Structure 1
Amino acid sequence: MAESVEYFKKHKPYSGLKIVHNNHLTLSSICKLAPLLLSGASLTITVTDSLQASPDVIEILHEHGVNITKINDLKDDFDILLDCGAGLANIVHPRIGAIEQTQSGKVIFEKQNRYPVISVDESYVKKLETLYGTGDGFKRAFNCLVKEDLAGKKFVVFGYGKVGHGIVRELKKMQCSPIIIIEMDNEALNRARLENFQALSINEDLGSIKKHLKEAFCVITATGVPGVVSKYFSRQDISDGYKVNMGTEDEFGENFLAEDVLANKKPLNFILEEPTLVEFLDPIFYAHNAAIDLLLTKKFAAGFHSLPLDFDLNILLRWSKFHKTDVSEIYQFI
């Protein structure tokens, strides 16, 4: 994003454009807004109800003469829509196109064909956040609350998609052992077994799973399925050890009290001031902003489009080089 600030400040590439930006307002998001504010565009910033809006960030923006527009005050008069969760999909109809950041927004925008929509979610760049960033956030939050040496402790992890993989990656670094992975997807089960984990099918191995749950130091959910644990297990089936939800919604479900689960069933990394460090958000912020250039320079038909692969890989490899990080494991998630 630092590169964008300098370039936008000098060249004002979006002069004459009307852009509306609907996204979380956190300390990290200031990095995303800075280049847009210097781009020469007429920028309107708003936050729909489902998004985070830090009062401190709003105050910082106000101190610099940047106001937040209420949804009801928006006029449908924009060239570009930068959206998160498709919060403005039924309110703003951009003349040039929209860029969506999330999976939930993708589901909504896929149904419209009035203008081009580019999805940042369906990209390798997005996996930097879900695979590395969320795993790192789990580690930092868990270590804040649990002041114990985790080496040799037994963890049971429900879900071995991108988020689960990232969490297990951090558990391995902390020498947690054994790590038991619970899945219903055969591809994920096979991948876990190839990586030398004990992986059990929730559809076939309930007896073995219950034994591991009784012995677990910690049980973690990262399936993306609300209430999945209660569908198969009772409160008595799981040890009194730590329980962690890393899903957006409560994955333990109705059989478990809020106080049974760290952070009262909310995603554990949300207890942190920075749930995801800016180094993992930076490439996504960059892609979300820079996709404006794609809408301006390439001819996209009305309807839904993934981020072009060459554009996506260019950002990923630049991030990998800058942070000296091997990102090869990301390629198995697409």
Structure 2
Amino acid sequence: MKSGALKMSWARQYMPVLGEIRKRFEADKPLSGTKIAMALHVEAKTAVLVETLAAGGAEVYITGCNPLSTQDDVAEALNDVSGVHCYAKRACSVEDYYEAIDKVLDVNPTVTIDDGMDLIHRLHTERRDLLDSIVGGCEETTTGIHRLRSMAAEGKLEFPVLAVNDTPMKRHFDNIHGTGESALSAVMITTNSLIGGKWFVVAGYGYCGRGLAKMAHGLGAKVIVTEIDPRRALEAHMDGYHVMTMDEAAKIGDIFVTTTGNTSIIGEKQFKNLKNGAILSNAGHFNVEIDIEWLESHKEGFEQRDGIDTYIINGKRINVLAEGRLVNLAVPKGMGHPIEVMDLSFGLQALCSEYIKNEGSALSGGVYDVPNEIDVAVASLKLKSLNVSIDALTEEQKLYMNSWDIGT
């Protein structure tokens, strides 16, 4: 068995939720007649989702959503799966990246699955002739949801998209535990640097940021949180972290991870104040949070080791991981989120794809919440796989919770 197929086999054994969904999909073929266009991180867990969709009767066309996150052996293995066509390649140019997106769209798809919204953006700009055939889509990540909501607010999103990222089963597991563990482990394996005792700076205290802060604190780091939202800043303070501006954090931080989804979080002003040997990385979707362009324009440096570019600024070394791209997948040994976490997220994607296929034509353009029953179904399947039982409301309790006239 080739390496890509071996990776998929390893992931599959730890993805019981998708396994249960696949059994039903294989029997009922609920996605028959559906062409699914996907732009996701092409690695082993994603491949198991793709297999599941194909087992449900879909024709699946997939490419990457980040130039450095594709695992080429997995992409090769996907092309051996019946009903699947994969165009992703690692370390591709920007031109090749969008050429692959166009190949996915050339098949005239009916459903989209995006991670970052590049596929949907392409449809609404360069490939508008295909919009009429799209029933709807699903979006995987925070950055993509931000872009979609901005688009919808301007009335320019022309088909319905489920905000998979915003549902509790995604935020509380994928974003907190997935990003927290995988981003931290990517920093550790790439740098071989000790976490304990270091000043560890987390930019942004959303779901991803709080997961990362928690994991770093657990390893003994002195965690600093930077924020723009006073409520989240106060929450970080009450959770026991040091809260300050990025300007202040730049002077004392040893390791930095950005998780904001916004641009220019660490730039020229901070670069000039960083300590010698500071390590910078990004856990947001796009490579805009660290101003790599400024560093390149003032470059006096070299590739320190695999996945680390070192820049000399004011005589001090600044070490940037994965070119400022998504650190948990873009570093050479990055494996992305833990398998069990992605089992939940991709269970959501599989069921949301089925929902969009059946209900999308009745919905107008816009961003929609994942139906609560889908979120609950994924949680229930996971509990079943763990042999964990929970209580159920009695009829008396249901009556009480739905009444307004039962008081003291």
Q: TM-score range by the shorter chain?
A: 0.7 to 0.9
Say if 1:222 and 1:245, in contact at 8 Å, map to a contact too: no
Q: Distance in 2 between matches of 1:167 and 1:73?
A: 34
Aligned to 1:193: 237
Deviations 1:235-283 (A, max 9, x none): 2x22114322223324332268551223243333221341222222222
Q: Distance in 1 between matches of 2:371 and 2:170?
A: 13
Query: Residue 229 of structure 1 aligns to a residue in which SS?
Result: coil
Alignment equivalent of 1:131, drawn from 146, 161, 176: 176
Identity %: 18
Q: How many residues align?
A: 314
Alignment equivalent of 2:38, drawn from 22, 36, 40: 22
Query: Are 1:303 and 2:320 an aligned pair?
Result: no
Classify 1:124/1:38 alpha carbon distance in 2 versus 1 (closer, same or farther; 3 Å): same
Q: Distance in 2 between matches of 1:192 and 1:324?
A: 34
Moved more, 277-286 or 218-227: 218-227
Q: Distance in 2 between matches of 1:182 and 1:279?
A: 30
Q: Distance in 2 between matches of 1:104 and 1:234?
A: 25
Query: Are 1:175 and 2:175 an aligned pair?
Result: no
Read off the aligned partner of 1:308 and give its amino acid letter: P
Q: Distance in 2 between matches of 1:318 and 1:222?
A: 30
Aligned to 2:324: 265
Q: CA deviation at 1:62?
A: 2.9
Say if 2:44 and 2:74, in contact at 8 Å, map to a contact too: yes
Q: CA deviation at 1:133?
A: 1.0
Q: Distance in 2 between matches of 1:151 and 1:68?
A: 41
Query: Are 1:36 and 2:56 an aligned pair?
Result: no
Query: Are 1:67 and 2:85 an aligned pair?
Result: yes
TM-score (norm 2): 0.66
Read off the aligned partner of 1:14 and give its amino acid letter: L
Aligned to 2:111: 80
Say if 1:262 and 1:268, in contact at 8 Å, map to a contact too: no
Alignment of 1:1-334 (within 5 A): 1-15=18-32, 17-24=33-40, 25-41=42-58, 43-47=59-63, 52-65=69-82, 66-68=84-86, 71-72=102-103, 74=105, 77-84=108-115, 85-88=117-120, 89-90=123-124, 91=127, 92-93=130-131, 94=133, 96-106=135-145, 107-108=147-148, 110=152, 111-112=155-156, 114-127=158-171, 128-176=173-221, 178-201=222-245, 209=248, 213-230=250-267, 232-235=269-272, 237-246=273-282, 247=284, 248-253=286-291, 254=294, 258-259=309-310, 260-263=318-321, 264-269=323-328, 270-271=330-331, 272-296=333-357, 298=359, 300-304=362-366, 305-316=368-379, 318-319=381-382
Deviations 1:295-323 (A, max 9, x none): 35557421221212343244346547757
Deviations 1:128-156 (A, max 9, x none): 22221111112211221344543333323
Classify 1:193/1:314 alpha carbon distance in 2 versus 1 (closer, same or farther; 3 Å): farther
Read off the aligned partner of 2:243 and give its amino acid letter: A
Q: Distance in 1 between matches of 2:343 and 2:73?
A: 20
Q: Distance in 2 between matches of 1:146 and 1:119?
A: 34
Q: CA deviation at 1:174?
A: 0.6
Query: Residue 6 of structure 1 aligns to a residue in which SS?
Result: helix
Q: Distance in 2 between matches of 1:252 and 1:131?
A: 22
Classify 1:151/1:9 alpha carbon distance in 2 versus 1 (closer, same or farther; 3 Å): same
Q: Distance in 1 between matches of 2:269 and 2:144?
A: 30
Q: CA deviation at 1:189?
A: 0.9
Provide the aligned C-alpha RMSD in A: 3.2
Classify 1:313/1:8 alpha carbon distance in 2 versus 1 (closer, same or farther; 3 Å): closer
Unaligned regions of 5+ residues in structure 1, if any?
326-334
Q: CA deviation at 1:160?
A: 1.8
Deviations 1:105-133 (A, max 9, x none): 44346344644322212222332222211
Classify 1:33/1:197 alpha carbon distance in 2 versus 1 (closer, same or farther; 3 Å): same
Unaligned regions of 5+ residues in structure 2, if any?
1-17, 88-99, 300-308, 311-317, 389-408
Classify 1:114/1:157 alpha carbon distance in 2 versus 1 (closer, same or farther; 3 Å): closer
Q: Distance in 2 between matches of 1:58 and 1:234?
A: 37
Q: Distance in 2 between matches of 1:315 and 1:324?
A: 14
Classify 1:230/1:193 alpha carbon distance in 2 versus 1 (closer, same or farther; 3 Å): same
Query: Residue 262 of structure 1 aligns to a residue in which SS?
Result: strand
Q: Distance in 1 between matches of 2:163 and 2:326?
A: 24
Say if 1:244 and 1:268, in contact at 8 Å, map to a contact too: no
Q: CA deviation at 1:100?
A: 2.8
Classify 1:227/1:59 alpha carbon distance in 2 versus 1 (closer, same or farther; 3 Å): same
